[in-house]
Chain A
Amino acid sequence: SQQGEEDPQALSIQEGENATMNCSYKTSINNLQWYRQNSGRGLVHLILIRSNEREKHSGRLRVTLDTSKKSSSLLITASRAADTASYFCATDASEGGSEKLVFGKGTKLTVNP
């Protein structure tokens, strides 16, 4: 079952602009993670935000988490052509001690030079 759902499915912007992607989920979580996937490659972990955190920064990335709305957003500032990739959110259920992450279907970001 898919817990995380990203929005939009695709996003095209110009270099230098900011890119915002959203993720919604359905059940209580311990944490939410964002991953990046370059075309035809494996996923790479970007950032993890815990359920008791509201905002987290890493370089040009800013992640917010609103547990009351069960949603998160990933902001990439001053985008570069190299940021072109698919971005996925992943959640783990806080109940049952699950070791599984559930991934959304991803947002495909294109940054035009």
Chain B
Amino acid sequence: DVKVTQSSRYLVKRTGEKVFLECVQDMDHENMFWYRQDPGLGLRLIYFSYDVKMKEKGDIPEGYSVSREKKERFSLILESASTNQTSMYLCASRTGGPSYEQYFGPGTRLTVT
């Protein structure tokens, strides 16, 4: 079974803190994705990576950065957390090519106070 794991299920941080969200997949997938999910807005793509050290901005990259030093690990970084970044963050991975399903992690519910 494919497994995508996220470092925390729940996280509470203070405004201005630097926040790291880690995602690890065990299926040697080329592509990895970070989404945020908010009520009424669905899933919005923040960043994705199609190879080690490669990244592309999604629809809402402002306030976020990412790191992919190893194929299995994709990190989302909030340089200076703000209250409007309170959200559910979902990581996903997929093998290359458009006709494959995405595998999602369980999500991290981040609260910034």
| Interface residues, chain A, with chain B CB atoms under 8 Å away | 1-2, 30-31, 33, 35, 40-45, 48, 50, 88, 90, 92, 94, 97-106
With A and B bound together, what is the CA distance between A32 and B98 in angstroms?
A: 10
Query: Known: A30-B98, A43-B90. Is A99-B43 also a contact (CB below 8 A)?
Result: no
A67 shortest CB reach to chain B, Å: 15
Query: 10 additional contacts, CB 8 Å, given A35-B104, A44-B104?
Result: A2-B42, A40-B107, A41-B107, A42-B90, A42-B107, A88-B42, A100-B45, A102-B45, A104-B42, A106-B42
Would you call B40 and A105 a contact (CB within 8 A)? yes
* Nearest-CB residue, chain B, relative to A6: B42
Contact of B105 among A42, A88, A94, A101 (CB under 8 A): A42
| Interface members, chain B 72-105 (any A CB < 8 Å) | 88, 90, 92, 94, 96-99, 101-105
With A and B bound together, what is the CA distance between A80 and B95 in angstroms?
A: 32
Contact of A100 among B58, B88, B105 (CB under 8 A): B58
Kindly list chain A residues whose C-beta atoms are within 8 Å of the C-beta of B33: 100
Kindly list chain B residues whose C-beta atoms are within 8 Å of the C-beta of A41: 106-107
| Interface residues, chain B, with chain A CB atoms under 8 Å away | 4, 31, 33, 35, 40-43, 45, 48, 50, 58-59, 88, 90, 92, 94, 96-99, 101-107, 109
With A and B bound together, what is the CA distance between A92 and B98 in angstroms?
A: 7
Would you call A105 and B41 a contact (CB within 8 A)? yes
Which of B35, B41, B102, B107 has the largest number of chain A CB atoms within 10 A?
A: B102
Would you call B50 and A99 a contact (CB within 8 A)? yes
Which of A100, A101, A105 has the largest number of chain B CB atoms within 10 A?
A: A101
With A and B bound together, what is the CA distance between A47 and B106 in angstroms?
A: 19
Kindly list chain A residues whose C-beta atoms are within 8 Å of the C-beta of B41: 105
* Nearest-CB residue, chain A, relative to B6: A42
* Nearest-CB residue, chain A, relative to B99: A31
Would you call B43 and A42 a contact (CB within 8 A)? no
* 16 A/B residue pairs, CB under 8 Å, sorted by A: A1-B59, A2-B42, A31-B98, A40-B88, A40-B109, A42-B90, A42-B92, A42-B105, A42-B106, A42-B107, A43-B92, A43-B102, A48-B99, A90-B102, A100-B33, A104-B42
